[in-house]
Structure 1
Amino acid sequence: MSFRKPKNRKEICYPFIYESALTCDYEIHTDELCSLVGMALATLPEGFDDVREDLETLHPKIYHLNGSVRGKTAIFEEDLEWLHARYDYYNELSRGRINRFVLPRGPVGVMALHQCRTGSKKTVRLLHRLDESGVTFEPELPRFANLLANFFFVLTVYIKMKLDVEEVEFVSLSY
């Protein structure tokens, strides 16, 4: 079978879906990450207004991250400064809670944030692959994506602490 671009626009889910470039894969992935943030918002436990407000601020920034490779850069130093401040806020509130490697567990809202965390790591990897392939973009993008992964992790720690959910240590047999 020959895989061809359909003539009917209703049969095309994304304008760039038939590109062979990694740019399309990056855009589809960051679209998924944006959906995962929406899932995290939908499953966030009650009583976490600070987290909800931050996720609502962050949510559109994921689509800005999405479009910043093919289009104009829409992630700026100010976005990094904001995310650093929010990371520091939750990290300080949960200081001392984690001092080892833990298994990704918890209530549904926490697990949605773990999916966001791993999705952010995939974003970093795709940005690295794009860079290797010669695609140019601003250095704020991988910095933001890396920080995003760490931010989502610290949110899981904070929420589990507030819900009194125990962290389960993971001891590797490999390292």
Structure 2
Amino acid sequence: MTYIPMLAFIKSTSKQKNPIDTISKFSPMFYLALILGFFSPQDLLAQKRDTTNIEQAIENYIAGWRTGNIELLKKTFDLEAGVVLWVDKNGESEQLKSMALSELANGVKPDDGFGIGYTIQDLKIIDSKLAIATIKVPLPRKKSYYIDCLEMQKINGEWKIVLKSFVYFPKE
């Protein structure tokens, strides 16, 4: 027995419109309203507030490092679980190193030129508790710079650096 789809033999006698034609006739305002409908004013306000607070935490990190202000760094870092990672190059070999952020904060010394003119290259708020920022930190006296990748988490309502990894770009 051969199966023949019946739909192939049915002709539409009604004047139905193609749904694609109908959708394409909506005004741009409809699409804007549709998109904005997914974001409540509270969500947009919370995201703006988070962005501002993350940028302030980054500014505190840079200022703490520049001035040697250990207390400012401690306020910015998650001291209980935070970690810094980097690749240490010793001759031809490279090795991944790590240190607790609390240890890093306690060992900071003032560096007048550190981070002046830093730029946030990328900032992504993953959700209301997690963000990732990439910043370029100039070292003017050495004519070099760092690229810091900071994972930040909101802990007890405050954005903290929980993971810092960096790459140093020496003077060429």
Greater strand fraction, Structure 1 or Structure 2: 2
* Shorter-normalised TM range: under 0.3
Greater helix fraction, Structure 1 or Structure 2: 1
TM-score for both structures, normalised by structure 2: 0.24
TM-score for both structures, normalised by structure 1: 0.24
Q: Which has the larger radius of gyration?
A: 2
